[in-house]
Amino acid sequence: MKKKITLLILLFLISAAIFPQNNKEIEQLCAWLKSDLVDPQIIALFNKRSDNPSWEELFEDAWAFSTAFESESPGLKEKAHEFIVDAVQEIQKARPQTIEDLCKAVHNYLHQKVFTEYQEEQSRFDQIFVSGRYNCISSSALFLVLARAVNLRVFGVVTENHSYVLAYDNNNDVIIHIETTNKEYGVRIFHDEYCPKYAEWAILNDPVYFLSTILRNRIIRNENRIAESLNLLFFLMAVTENLLIEETPFDPTPANMLLNKILYYASILLHADKPEECFYLLEMTAKYYSENEEWHNAVYAALNNSAVNFVNGFSHPQEQALEILAFIFTNARKYLVNHHQERIQELLYKIIWNTCIDIKELYKDPSAAISFLEKIQELYGQISGFEELFHYFNSKL
């Protein structure tokens, strides 16, 4: 087990060394760690959601996922809302007779009235109403909202690299597959053998979770804009942590996505020689990953580098030693699992040893070092190697 942990730590530190370092981005990341997290007013929008949200609620969700931390065009939201209301009236005038007819009516209306051009990176719901450009995520989100407005039973599906919509009746007898990016042949009865599996997963998943794909795609697109990406990451976690999200073979949950991105940014901070900032970033996600091995290894690496930086300093005054010992000891006990504790004891020993040597040289008196050891023992109890340290400095009296 110890060899495995050592290898994981080594791989984590090596991965940090290969990331490109951008001083401006690192400064932004450190500044973000000292600032407030995501605006609680935004998160409050998602605290109360019914099991079967209305199209107006889904419209608000899609809009928030698209515009969070972005400036909005004046009047655009009202214009988009009016578009949905008008679309419902126009579609109902045609009196579609079947679920397939109604799906086609919604699909055709969107392609005739608002969709203009496919653009791979255009995931934002709001921007459809600016340029008409769309991809599978933004177009599926708009279809989902409008379809709910005309009382279609629809659910979104997210695969590893694609999004689409399923619609079916209350008995699940008729399943319609809607490829919103395909203007001519986007609506068809879905006979694929895997469809029941996808349909079952879609039913179980909250539509807010499907719409949060807008956020996930924005995070991926802005991964190198650290401050923006982290705000979006924590926004995503805040609004989806309480949803019932079924595991799928192709779609990482927000929790897993957050961990991967947090480890990426933690590695950047370690490489930039900012281990304490690295730890604070990891600490923000502690409630989600207290049992995760990768997270524990990253925390240990941050605490280890903090100790190494102290030991490698030119001097080790008692005040700084007490501060770094408190930082490492408290957080190691709080966050690290048992198999890391022995290694943490080694870190503490190095700090105490170097500080005692400096105290002895400063005061020319071994008893000063012994007094420091007694103070540490009073604060933290018996630390590995204490008996040898007491014996050594007592021999110098």
Q: Please state the pTM of the whole predicted model.
A: 0.73
* Amino acid 258: pLDDT: 75
Q: How would you write the pLDDT of the chain (397 residues) with one tens digit per residue?
A: 444 444 444 434 434 444 444 566 667 667 666 665 555 555 555 555 566 788 999 999 899 899 987 877 889 999 999 999 999 999 999 888 888 999 999 999 999 999 999 999 999 999 999 999 999 999 999 999 999 999 998 888 887 778 889 887 776 666 788 999 999 988 987 665 555 666 565 555 678 878 888 988 888 887 667 767 777 887 787 777 666 455 555 556 666 777 888 888 888 888 888 888 888 888 888 877 878 888 888 888 888 888 888 888 767 778 888 888 888 888 888 887 666 777 788 888 888 888 888 888 888 888 988 898 988 888 888 788 888 888 888 888 7
d(CA 142, CA 149): 11
CA–CA separation, 156 and 119 (whole Å): 20
Residue 325, pLDDT score: 87
- The pLDDT score that the predictor gives to residue 113 is 96
Dihedral sign for Cα atoms in the order 257, 258, 260, 265: positive
Q: What is the DSSP letter of 193?
A: T
Q: Which amino acid is at 150?
A: V
- Alpha-carbon separation of residue 43 from 125, 286, 315, 369 (angstroms): 18, 20, 46, 52
Q: Which domains does the chain have, with CATH numbers?
A: 52-221 (3.10.620)
- Three-state SS across 252-279? CCHHHHHHHHHHHHHHHHHHCCCHHHHH
The CA-based dihedral angle spanning residues 49, 53, 56, 61, taken in that order and rounded to the nearest 10 degrees = 50
Apex 157 CA angle, 211 and 153, nearest 5: 85
Instruction: Please name the helix (run of DSSP H) or strand (run of DSSP E) that holds residue 357, with its range, or none.
Output: helix 338-363
**Rounded to 10 degrees, what is the CA torsion of 258, 261, 266, 271?**
180
Count of residues making up the chain? 397
